[in-house]
Amino acid sequence: MDITATTEWTALHRHARDQQAAGVDLAGLFDADPDRAGHCTSTVGDLVVDWSRHLVNDGTVELLLALADRAGVSERIAAMLSGEPVNVTEGRPVLHTALRAPAGEAVVVGGVDVAPAIAAERDRTGAFVRALLAGERRGATGLPIRTVVNLGIGGSQLGPAMAHQALAAFRSGGVECRFVSNIDPAALASGLDGLDPAETLFIVVSKGFATAETLANARAARAWAASVLGSEAASRHFVAVTANRDAAIEFGIEPDDVFATWDWVGGRFSMGSAAGLAVMAAIGEENFAAMLAGMRAVDEHVAAGPAASVPMLLGLLSVWYRNFWGFQMRAVVPYSERLRLFPVWLQQVIMESNGKRVRLDGSPVGCETAEVVWGGVGTDSQHSFHQLLHQGTTAVPTDFIVMARPDADVAGAAGAAERHEALVANCFAQAAALAFGSPAAEDDSHRELPGNRPSTVILAAELTPPVLGQLVALYEHQTVVQGAVWGINSFDQFGVELGKTLADAILDDLRAGAAEAGTSHDPSTRSLIAHYRRLREL
């Protein structure tokens, strides 16, 4: 179905034009409804979500929900949760939610209950981490493992690295964790700096065990370890997380050290699987389980009533701005130093999922799809890009994320409470300034802030494992809502494949001598190859 051809889409277009022509403004919406903040604040799990500063009224929300109903959003969510193959281009279910389902709950894929397999991997990863932290899992020389290095890229790195940083207050202290993703030699060099191979364990995370960057880094890491320990002993310092068990064993990893993920878990949604093994090693099995429980709380909230869920509302607000206001971007600004990587993780979740130009049936979409997601941590970002948010010519809906209390491990530091209150005040002030602005002083238009720029504020008591899990699931489900409205497949990523194929062909020419240069490339690429060869020889 082309959602843009429906009466619901037309009604929203008319409504948006009417609102814009009437000069709808946030100050007026609050004047018309003195209790707007109360009416437009929702809760899910431990999260308080204030969406009162959006350019919507009750009529807007009704029309958006009608659009979602026409697009079958609730049905698509139900199909996803029940294990139907909603990833139609690859014929797969999408069951990252099963990774955090309660023990004993059946999860059927292709007529087979995979819940026992999920439980078995939970037990294996838990046992591995317990042994690692207890010093029972040691290196080849008998020394305990002091550092874990996660080798992965994309979904095999972004989520785990983000969670590891976010939950620093809950690290057990048993092992240090590092993350290496970039094929740039400097990345691995930095990741290995100061480490002893005898006390280092590498986790190679690759669903197909074929990701070029990850395997290149894994081979280099193995050579580094073997240079000190010897080739045979080095294998004791590698484990794998993959759906391609045979390839991992062929690489040289012991069968008992290969942990499973599945093809029905997309990489960008895989943090709750063994792909999060480094996170579990850092924070411990119990805290990892608490993070999964936070994710599950949002899953259950959505499953109980998709049309009334907070992710449904937030996903529809994104559709409202992307398609009916022409806003192309969303900024995400966590007022939490340890959520610094959250916008980076979210870029993949939203833009890799919904950066699509054809519908499920392969026909072109009739509207804009994924928003461009970017952001940074507050208060740093106030001295960086907030100038554009407040006075730029482009309106950017913004999500602010903030905690009521400082992180547990720094709460007792001198002046921590006062500084944290200043942090919260800055967050609230930015949302207010975006919404209501300020008039020009004495006809000085340079000082005028127009306001009327929408934002969401997400507040929780403290950044804990359950709260992080709830934030992750909140945005995952928003992404699914958006894709369902647009009628696209949010679960494949063929757009990343062409560049990989071209890179292989170009690499062959970069390594070849001048006389062996290929002619299959476009003129610009051939010119760049020639310049590269010249510069390499300087």
- What amino acid positions are annotated as catalytic residues? 352, 383, 500
Beta-carbon-side half-sphere exposure of residue 57 (alpha carbons within 13 Å): 16
Q: Which of 15, 13, 76 is nearest to 366 (CA)?
A: 13
Report helix, strand or coil for 330.
strand
CA atoms of 370 and 507, how far apart (whole Å): 32
Cα 357 to chain centroid distance, Å, stands at 21
3-class secondary structure per residue, 248-300: HHHHCCCHHHEEECCCCCCHHHCCCCHHHHHHHHHHCHHHHHHHHHHHHHHHH
> Which amino acid appears at position 459 of this protein?
L
CA atoms of 459 and 331, how far apart (whole Å): 17
- Long-range contacts of residues 250-258, Cβ cutoff 8 Å, at least 24 apart: 251/204, 251/209, 251/215, 251/218, 252/222, 253/204
Q: How is residue 463 written in tokens?
A: 């950044």
Return the H-helix or E-strand segment holding 503.
helix 497-511
Distances (CA, A) of 157 to 161, 201, 275: 6, 16, 8
CA atoms of 85 and 223, how far apart (whole Å): 41
The torsion angles phi and psi of 367, rounded to 5 degrees, stand at -155, 175
> Which amino acid appears at position 82 of this protein?
S
Measured between its terminal Cα atoms, the distance across the chain in Å is 58
3-class secondary structure per residue, 78-94: HHHHCCCCCECCCCECC
Cβ-Cβ contacts under 8 Å for 493 (sequence gap 6 or more): 352
CA atoms of 343 and 161, how far apart (whole Å): 12
Beta bridge partner(s), residue 47: 44
CA atoms of 18 and 63, how far apart (whole Å): 14
Q: How is residue 393 written in tokens?
A: 């010519």
CA atoms of 534 and 504, how far apart (whole Å): 21
